[in-house]
Amino acid sequence: MEAKPVEKPRTSRKLLYAVVAVIVVAVIIASVAAVILTAPPAPVKPITIELWYNDDGHYGDTEPTVAVLLKAQLEKSGVFQVNLKHSAWRTFVGQFSNNQLPFFQLGWFPDFADSDNYVTPFMRTGFQSLGTNYSNPTMDALIDNETSSTTGRDTTFSQIQDLAARDVPTLPLWMTTAVAVREPSISGVVLDPYLFRYYFIGKNNTATSTLTMSTTDKLTSLDPAVEYDLFSGTVVGNIFDTLYTTTPTNGSEIPQTIPLLAAGAPVNPVGGDPKVWEVTLKSGLVFADGSPITARDVQFSFQRLAKINNPESAVFYVTGLMDGNVLANTPDNVISMPDGPTGLRVQFHLNKTYAIFPNLLTFSTTSVLNHNVYPVGTAVDNPTTLPGGGVGGGSGAYVVQSTDLANSIVFTANPNYNFKTYWQQYQSKGAPSIPVPVSNTFSISLKAAAPALRQDVQAHVVNLGYRSFNPPDVTALQADATLKVDLGNSPQIRYMVFNSGTAPYNKIQVRQAIAYSVNRQEIVNIVFGALAQPLWSMIPSGWYGHKDVFKDVYGSSPDPAKAKALLQQAGLLSYIPPVDLAVGVARRRAD
């Protein structure tokens, strides 16, 4: 009988297969784990943002360079992709005033001499003509507190700045130096941040027939109810007067508020009510056409502001303190005239305590206009068609002889100027010792760009150049023995604005991440050199309430890791998904 072969147990074969399978799985898992542990993190999908800037020289020719630097800094953080956009100044103003720009570069000269002017326009609910669209009831309460008294404001300003650094409605970047270049014989150039007084300027402090100046600034309007940029406000300040003004300064000190059309300091007459302010006009004042300045002209000028209510202007100051609808339609209920329309007294009835109201009355928006010349409800947007031919509407040192927005503005002396010798008491602060205006004719040539401005002063085509020279040009002009370069300690600040009502800037973490990403010192070093310094607060250095709050919160140099972590924690970052290798192999096999 033939023997049968011995069969191996099937269970041992199965066990062997199982062991092999386990080993294979373990190897696969280990391999996958190794890949996962050693693979780089999934790449972040950057948040796309638009950064807008002015492209026609309002701030000089440095704006595009600054924009490119900011783009590089933000993209270096790895969490932003920046698209640069730009527009000409007049368009730019309309865009941000009407909340059409989401994120943009801007500059600021003070409207009047108080630190609140670096707070309220940017951070108060309803004050939206500067494009922030920011609203925080806590901030509103703090602002009400600091404006209700002129004493004990340190703590409140500190709280305001702490909150501003947390909420970031705006992002301060740097402060600039004011620059004027003149022929050595030109006198009376005071680089005043509140009003560059053309009427001080002449040759060797003597009466001068004609003075010429060039600038790259762009004129937007000569109507106090419309204008809200430095150059337009400066021109307005030379052809109109306000109830109060400021002592001349080159920016090294905060000036004092002094009477101009007013006879003295305003008072609270009605039982000491802090919400009622009475101002008495000097007697015998006249407009350029010789007609008297009365209480009716003051009331009319404020009524007109409220009635026009231009969104691009600073009317929010007036309508925020007085009932705008009442002021526009029944002004006697808001600005009363105790001695009648032809009298000299006016009383302002505010809706809240505002202790710095006298400072506000130095602002060009509150200029006093001739009620017989200007239309009450219509803005005069075209400077070439000023009411009264530019002669009778104001009482300033100059009247407008002709305007050509593309080329020049020409002023002639107001023969009826009320303050020809008034300024002699301020000779120690740069005012002339002779009657003003010193120059009978003052002509401004409007230039398209900084190179043309430099060429004009270097070739002595004009006597004076002011705003805005390229920084390298300033260095070159300082070496020119035929010219004199004046530098002023300007409180002009440069900053970025977030429209808090638009995505993604409605997310506080996005604004904070941008604050972590910018490099102020790099901008100063590359673009401006000695003509600028980093700024860590919306209130400039040397002003009441200043502190380097953005340096305290975000550090003195960029921190991309914190920017990324902030957005991750808020769930605002998305990631680019990895390629599925298995799917890729299967597809290749199927081909």
pLDDT digits (tens, 9 = 90+) for 541-566: 888 899 999 999 999 999 999 999 99
277: pLDDT confidence band, cut at 50, 70 and 90?
A: very high
Sign of CA dihedral 288, 294, 300, 305: positive
* Range with the poorest average pLDDT among 34-48, 555-569, 574-588: 574-588
Parallel, antiparallel or unpaired: strands 493-498 and 103-108: antiparallel
* Range with the poorest average pLDDT among 40-49, 53-62, 278-287, 385-394: 385-394
Q: Summarize pLDDT for 324-352 with one digit per residue, the tens.
A: 899 989 999 999 999 999 999 999 999 99
Sign of CA dihedral 529, 532, 536, 542: positive
pLDDT value at residue 12:
58
294: pLDDT confidence band, cut at 50, 70 and 90?
A: very high
Distant-in-sequence, close-in-space partners of 188: CB < 8 Å, separation ≥ 6: 197, 200, 201, 202, 205, 430, 431, 432, 438
- From the list 362, 377, 250, 358, the residue with the least C-alpha distance to 304 is 377
pLDDT value at residue 57:
83
- From the list 296, 282, 284, the residue with the least C-alpha distance to 416 is 284
157 half-sphere exposure, CB direction, 13 A CA radius: 23
Burial label, 39 (beta-carbon count in 10 A; 0-12, 13-18, 19+): exposed
Whether residue 40 has a cis bond before it, omega within 30° of 0: no
24: pLDDT confidence band, cut at 50, 70 and 90?
A: low
Q: Give alpha helix (H) positions in 386-463.
A: 450-458
Token pair listed for 537:
């607060």
Distance from CA of residue 197 to its chain's centroid? 21
The string of DSSP letters for 463-514 reads SEEES---HHHHHHHHT-TT-EEEEE----EEEEEE-TTSTTTTSHHHHHHH
Q: Summarize pLDDT for 459-487 with one digit per residue, the tens.
A: 999 999 999 999 999 999 999 999 999 99
Distant-in-sequence, close-in-space partners of 477: CB < 8 Å, separation ≥ 6: 181, 454, 457, 458, 469, 483, 485
- From the list 512, 496, 531, the residue with the least C-alpha distance to 175 is 531
Instruction: Report d(CA 42, CA 418) in Å as an integer.
Output: 72
DSSP helix/strand/coil, 347: strand
Parallel, antiparallel or unpaired: strands 186-187 and 170-176: unpaired
DSSP helix/strand/coil, 575: strand
Residue linked to tokens 């301060």: 172
- From the list 367, 365, 301, the residue with the least C-alpha distance to 334 is 301
Q: What is the pTM of this model?
A: 0.87
Whether residue 468 has a cis bond before it, omega within 30° of 0: yes
Q: Is a pLDDT exceeding 80 seen at residue 118?
A: yes
Give the angle subtended at the CA of 5 by the CAs of 2 and 6, to the nearest 5°.
Answer: 135
Going through 3-129 in order, the beta strands assigned E by DSSP cover 44-45, 47-54, 80-87, 103-108
Instruction: Report d(CA 418, CA 401) in Å as an integer.
Output: 19
All structural domains of the chain, each given as residue ranges with its CATH number in brackets, are 44-176+491-575 (3.10.105), 178-488 (3.40.190.10)
Q: Summarize pLDDT for 531-542 with one digit per residue, the tens.
A: 999 999 999 988
Would you report the helix, strand and coil content of the chain in percent, each value rounded to 5? 35, 20, 45
Cα separations in angstroms, 337 against 278, 294, 315, 340: 10, 10, 22, 5
Q: Summarize pLDDT for 440-453 with one digit per residue, the tens.
A: 999 999 999 999 99
pLDDT (average), residues 495-519: 96
DSSP helix/strand/coil, 103: strand
pLDDT (average), residues 193-221: 94
pLDDT (average), residues 209-224: 93
- From the list 234, 235, 239, 256, the residue with the least C-alpha distance to 247 is 256
pLDDT value at residue 127:
78
pLDDT value at residue 385:
65
4: pLDDT confidence band, cut at 50, 70 and 90?
A: very low
Q: Is a pLDDT exceeding 70 seen at residue 35?
A: no
pLDDT (average), residues 146-159: 93
Torsion angles phi and psi, residue 50, rounded to 5: -110, 135
Q: Is a pLDDT exceeding 50 seen at residue 100?
A: yes
